[in-house]
Structure 1
Amino acid sequence: MELKNIDWFTRLAKALTAFTGSVLGLGLLSLIHELLYGATDLPLIIAAFGATAVVLYGCPDSPIAQPRNLFSGSLISAFVGVVTYHALQGFPIWFEGIVAISTALFLMTLTGTLHPPGGAIAFIAIAGPPEIHQLGFLYLVYPIGTGISLMYLVALLMNRLTPEKHRPSA
């Protein structure tokens, strides 16, 4: 979001919209997670989706905030993280993390679906608690698929509620 040539009131409105989207998206996601699983791995979930919130609500016009990048980049990264966790069990976590993040970056770049929070998504599949590891490939469905879908719906809602329409596009 380019703000240097924007008047103060417009800048404030954009900042409040980003803040509201972030509170709604992360709040709903946290509430659902807490109701389903308790607070077990909530800090890790918030870390990955916090980065997604910055992208979606802070720079909605950016290519990395668009649906193709959001969904594909996140799901590619989750898949790579799960595969790496199972393929490299027994190696140090730092090594597994480097392989997962770098492979996710390679595939997102190759497919034109770069979504920076994907690095955290891949790493959580490696370094997350046993509850994450037990999910296996369901990690792609929940928390990742469900979480990005919810956050995207909030981004669309924020888009509809603001006078100056922003992307992400539908």
Structure 2
Amino acid sequence: MNDKVGKKEKISQNIKRQARISRYVIYRETQIDFREQFWSFIGAFFGIGIIAFIQSFYLTKFENIFLIGSFGAASVLIFGAIQSPLAQPRNFIGGQLISAFIGVTILKFMPDILWLNAPLAVATSIIAMQITKTLHPPGGATALIAIIGTEKIKALGYFYVISPVLSGSLILFFTALVFNNMTKHRQYPTNSRLTRIFKTRNFKD
């Protein structure tokens, strides 16, 4: 009898603990004041802006292959939902790279079967990200772009994984490290010693 009561109490405590964690996460993501919105705007503006600047002034002879659509979706997470597990570096960079690799691989094996290679690229990238614990929603778009992108993007082959995907992701990541740690209320990545480098003494207290 006592064992049953003990198990019920443990279950009840676990449920309450999970509820507290959920409320905390929801609170952190929904209670956003003007300062948070300001730094989200500035971070996204500079992150995408740097990539666009490189494309416009240094890669003008190429089509727009350095700035891909999935970076816009990624910016929503890493600048607007910085507490989300899906926005953390492992998920962001890992998910992008894995998805890009899968997209290119499927295109090489099925170059002319759009009705099959497009959904297969997205679905496979989701499973791969789940297995590697790097789930990052914009990764699905990165895989799809490898399939439906312009001919110049397709011609990149596996170099697509390096540039634009890795190069652009690193630009966004380092931009996020700076602008997501400008105030004491913002910390990116979460629970990481790396953020201490970008925290000034004024924000420690």
TM-score of the aligned structures, taking structure 2 as reference length:
0.74
Count of aligned pairs between the two proteins: 163
Matched residues in 1 for 2:149 and 2:67: separation?
9
Deviation at 1:98, TM superposition (A): 0.2
Matched residues in 2 for 1:95 and 1:130: separation?
19
Query: RMSD between aligned alpha carbons?
Result: 1.7
**Alignment check: 8 A CA contact 1:41 1:128 kept:** no
Give 1:41's aligned residue: 64
Give 1:26's aligned residue: 48
Structure (1 or 2) with the larger CA radius of gyration: 2
Deviation at 1:46, TM superposition (A): 4.3
Give 2:20's aligned residue: none
Give 1:152's aligned residue: 173
Q: Which consecutive aligned stretches of 4+ in structure 1 deviate over 4 angstroms post-superposition?
A: none
Q: Indicate the SS of the match to 2:95.
A: helix
Residue identity (%): 35
Cα deviation 1:41-96 (Å, max 9, x = unaligned): 36x934210001001000011111111111111000000000011111121x2421
Give 2:82's aligned residue: 60
Match of 1:105 among 99, 117, 126: 126
TM-score of the aligned structures, taking structure 1 as reference length:
0.89
Give 2:92's aligned residue: 70
Give 1:127's aligned residue: 148
Give 2:21's aligned residue: none
Matched residues in 2 for 1:132 and 1:151: separation?
20
Greater shift after overlay, 102-111 or 159-168?
A: 159-168
Deviation at 1:11, TM superposition (A): 1.2
Give 1:50's aligned residue: 72
Deviation at 1:109, TM superposition (A): 0.7
Matches within 5 A, 1:89-100: 89-91=111-113, 93-100=114-121
- Greater RCO, 1 or 2 (C-alpha within 8 Å, sep 6+): 1
Task: In structure 1, give the amino acid aligned to 2:63.
Answer: T
Gaps of 5+ in 2: 1-27, 195-205
Deviation at 1:135, TM superposition (A): 1.0
Task: In structure 2, give the amino acid aligned to 1:2.
Answer: E
